[in-house]
Structure 1
Amino acid sequence: ATRWQDIQGMNNWKGVIDPLHPDLRAAGIRYGEFVEAVYDAIDMEVESEFIYYSLYGKSDLFPNVGVTSDYKITRYLYSTLVVEGWRTAFDGLHKRSSTTWIGYIAVSSDQETRKLGRRDVAVILRGTKASDEWYVNSEFMMKELKLLGLEKPLPRVVEGFLSMYTASDASKMFGDSSLRDQIFKEVNKLVEVDYKDEDMSITFVGHSMGAGMAPLAAADYGFNKPRIAEGRTVMVTAFVYGAPKTGDGEFKKRAEESCKIIRVVSTGDIVTLIPPVSLTPPGIYQHVGVEWRVDWSSSPYVQDLGFGMRCHNLELYLHCIAG
């Protein structure tokens, strides 16, 4: 494997996590900052007509949030949230839906591509912000997944993540196509048309809720991607930070066959234990991919955070990676 393929997990990150290779450190910071950009740009003003949408257009996002990057955002991504059952009781409704801005797709410039050794497409998915996302995230029931082949037993994944990935509602702004369809349409265009003769990496990146969905999206794309010409490399990888568990053992098996996944875990991060064993049969939910553990306790700049949500902060993760 070439160096970039090692960093994207061709050999399951053997020899590059411990000791930490500078290129993996750089990738971990770069992709994490791409997610942080969404947090910095999302409209959280309660009275705003555009709450949970981006404050900036695609070309203005990076400059306005202070991200210096040789990547160009080619598409914003939106997720449709469907809330039903007991969660709608207070509204007097049986079901409601809404859409939120959940991330974007960006591609490396020619100059950055030469530096990286391949054309990189980054699919960025943020963590929970909208109130309805909290409801959907609490749907720990498992649902069969038919996107990775129909061989039995079918893999099962968190119902809430699958719903946010596949739902659509044409009556809502940006809701006419599912998050899955948006990703496939844009990434396929980049792979098959815009850069059809180049070696590429398709990197799915997520934090928190987005880290639960990124392995699902990466496994799906890895399994269902277009046919790649002989002699050309198109690697599919997920970089996830503070990830909850996405699915069961069968999902883990098929996901790890379809793509490469590296899971950055901070000491004391409670979200990495979700769904909790107390609410699910033991052994049902399993983590996927290779673990990259980071420890804030060795930093002189971080107070004792103990255990909980404070250990889940993405900026804390990036501080630990930076060293």
Structure 2
Amino acid sequence: MVMAAFIPNIVVALPKPKTHQPLRKPKPTVSCKATQQKSISDVWRKIHGEDDWAGLLDPMDPLMRSELIRYGEMAQACYDAFDFDPYSKYCGSCRYSPSEFFDSLDMSHVGYTPTRFLYATANINLPNLFRKSRWPSKMWSKHANWAGYIAVSNDAMTKLLGRRDITIAWRGTVTHVEWVADLMNYLKPISGEGDVKVEAGFLELYTDKETTCGYCKYSAREQVLAEVKRLLDKYSQEEVSVTITGHSLGSAMGILSAFDIAERGLKAGTSTVFSFSGPRVGNLRFKERLEELGVKVLRVHNSHDMVPRSPGMFLNEGLPRWVVNLVQGLPWCYLHVGVGLELDHKKSPFLNPNADAASAHNLEAILHLLDGYHGKHGAFKRTSERDLALVNKDCDFLKDEHTVPPRWRQDLNKGMVKTQDGRWVLADRPKPHDPTQDLHH
């Protein structure tokens, strides 16, 4: 298109000015030879692990790629909406209400409606996992942190996907990867007594509650199970999928919630977890029980990231099976679950190969790598115009030649606004959404 500037008797064609905006909109109906011109509605079961992703990852199927990026962006939304500024009265909460959530993040195209915000209690002794305001008398909650959301596809997206999709998105940490050192790093039965065990810190975060706080009066586990049950009842006459996405710590929370949903029989068939840069969660019996329940997990990670190597640095799935059987009773033996998809940031010509460890763990960088991944032995080649600037949103990973400032995402004036009388004050906003007001168990 052109824009016309008119001068008497002369018409000059001027090029339309370019704008630099993140291109986040997924392309869910991209066709390819591998999918034989099919749409998501034709192959969604395969994309969600019906055949353990056989033939879809190496080389990467374009529909598989677009769906992974789409769910990854839904996990990234948890970071973009999280108030992590300790100088904010609302530190630890979500910046937006459920009704304006995706619109405020420039994600109206996603085709989902948030139905429930999720909260976890910040009482446990894991200091790098939570953010709290430095203004204790003004805090919105002394006990809770916003942990993610549950959303359901609208009618138009449901038609495109071929089923009603319930998505649970879990937030990871907003500190550097040192949070791994805070793990209690011992296994604990996931429910009462038994040999199905998971990492104690993850389990406490998932199950702890604070009865005096409206936001975490019920545990994250109870909030998830209650809302999934409500939505499954509401859409009982439709075909429904339950998809869980999360990054880092959010990946662990996602795997735990997938286990619970399946263990309690809330969803017939399979539930799917798209895990990004997630740690190991449980022991051999936990892995076996997930498989028995039909839970499908696809783990996407950077080969240079330390988080997926923890916990269980030495006693893990890399040992011969007979050794795993021998040491599985030890409280430090952890195994990854599901199918792994390993990426390598050193293959991307756009990224600094010597960046710090936190950059290797960054979710936007993972989505960039997915965009250019064509198989283990394939060269990196971008498949879309996804904005490179997104990579440096919260890290310093792009090469300097791209002239994108590191960690450029920030609040205008750190949330300070000017009043009518000319004074600068911290802006007020509506009280964060309370999930327990209509929560029924």
Do these two structures clear the TM 0.5 threshold for a shared fold by scoring above it? Answer: yes
Deviations 1:108-157 (A, max 9, x none): 111111111111111000111379x949952212111228xx7x5x2110
- Where does residue 286 of structure 1 map in the other structure? 335
Deviations 1:189-241 (A, max 9, x none): 1111x21111111011110001112111111111213375xxxxx53111100
Tell me the SS of whatever aligns to 2:290.
helix
- Where does residue 123 of structure 1 map in the other structure? 168
Kindly provide the amino acid, as one letter, of the partner of residue 125 in structure 1.
W
The 1:134/1:172 distance shift into structure 2, 3 A limit, reads: farther
Distance 1:290 1:283 in 2: 22
Alignment map for 1:2-13 (pairs within 5 Å): 3-13=43-53
Distance 2:365 2:181 in 1: 26
- Where does residue 156 of structure 2 map in the other structure? 111
TM-score when scaled to structure 1?
0.86
Distance 1:304 1:86 in 2: 30
Distance 1:13 1:284 in 2: 27
Distance 1:21 1:135 in 2: 33
- Are residue 308 (structure 1) and residue 353 (structure 2) matched? no
- Where does residue 103 of structure 2 map in the other structure? 63
Distance 2:127 2:371 in 1: 44
Distance 2:148 2:251 in 1: 12
1:50 to 90, 107, 126: 90
Tell me the SS of whatever aligns to 2:67.
helix
Alignment map for 1:34-45 (pairs within 5 Å): 34-45=74-85
Task: Give the CA deviation at 1:173.
Answer: 4.1
- Where does residue 252 of structure 1 map in the other structure? 287
Tell me the SS of whatever aligns to 2:221.
helix
Distance 2:125 2:112 in 1: 38
Point out where structure 1 has 5 or more consecutive residues left out of the alignment.
88-96, 229-233
The 1:13/1:162 distance shift into structure 2, 3 A limit, reads: same
Kindly provide the amino acid, as one letter, of the partner of residue 294 in structure 1.
L
Distance 2:182 2:102 in 1: 28
Contact 1:31/1:205 (8 A) holds in 2? yes
Tell me the SS of whatever aligns to 2:124.
strand
1:160 to 201, 205, 211: 201
The 1:278/1:287 distance shift into structure 2, 3 A limit, reads: closer
The 1:266/1:143 distance shift into structure 2, 3 A limit, reads: same
Alignment map for 1:176-187 (pairs within 5 Å): 176-187=217-228
Distance 2:153 2:270 in 1: 15
The 1:289/1:70 distance shift into structure 2, 3 A limit, reads: same
Deviations 1:233-265 (A, max 9, x none): x53111100010001111111112221110001
Task: Give the CA deviation at 1:309.
Answer: 2.5
More helix by share: 1
- Where does residue 236 of structure 1 map in the other structure? 271
Distance 2:126 2:160 in 1: 50
- Which of the pair has more CA radius of gyration? 2
Task: Give the CA deviation at 1:276.
Answer: 4.8
More strand by share: 1
Task: Give the CA deviation at 1:52.
Answer: 0.8
Tell me the SS of whatever aligns to 1:55.
coil
Kindly provide the amino acid, as one letter, of the partner of residue 146 in structure 2.
W
Kindly provide the amino acid, as one letter, of the partner of residue 340 in structure 2.
E
The 1:222/1:21 distance shift into structure 2, 3 A limit, reads: same
Contact 1:245/1:285 (8 A) holds in 2? yes
Deviations 1:4-37 (A, max 9, x none): 1100101111111112112211111111111111
2:71 to 31, 37, 40: 31
Tell me the SS of whatever aligns to 1:321.
helix
RMSD of Structure 2 on Structure 1 (CA): 2.7
Distance 1:124 1:48 in 2: 24
Distance 1:227 1:26 in 2: 25
Identity %: 35
Distance 2:180 2:312 in 1: 16
- Where does residue 92 of structure 1 map in the other structure? none
Distance 1:188 1:263 in 2: 26
Distance 2:371 2:174 in 1: 26
- Where does residue 255 of structure 2 map in the other structure? 215
Kindly provide the amino acid, as one letter, of the partner of residue 289 in structure 2.
R
The 1:236/1:137 distance shift into structure 2, 3 A limit, reads: farther
Tell me the SS of whatever aligns to 1:143.
strand
Alignment map for 1:128-207 (pairs within 5 Å): 128-129=173-174, 134=179, 137-146=182-191, 154-192=195-233, 194-207=234-247
Contact 1:142/1:157 (8 A) holds in 2? yes
- Where does residue 94 of structure 1 map in the other structure? none
Contact 2:284/2:335 (8 A) holds in 1? yes
Alignment map for 1:83-122 (pairs within 5 Å): 83=124, 98-122=143-167
Contact 2:248/2:276 (8 A) holds in 1? yes
Contact 1:216/1:255 (8 A) holds in 2? no
Task: Give the CA deviation at 1:82.
Answer: 3.1
Distance 1:243 1:138 in 2: 14
Kindly provide the amino acid, as one letter, of the partner of residue 217 in structure 1.
S
Distance 2:163 2:72 in 1: 20
Kindly provide the amino acid, as one letter, of the partner of residue 34 in structure 1.
M
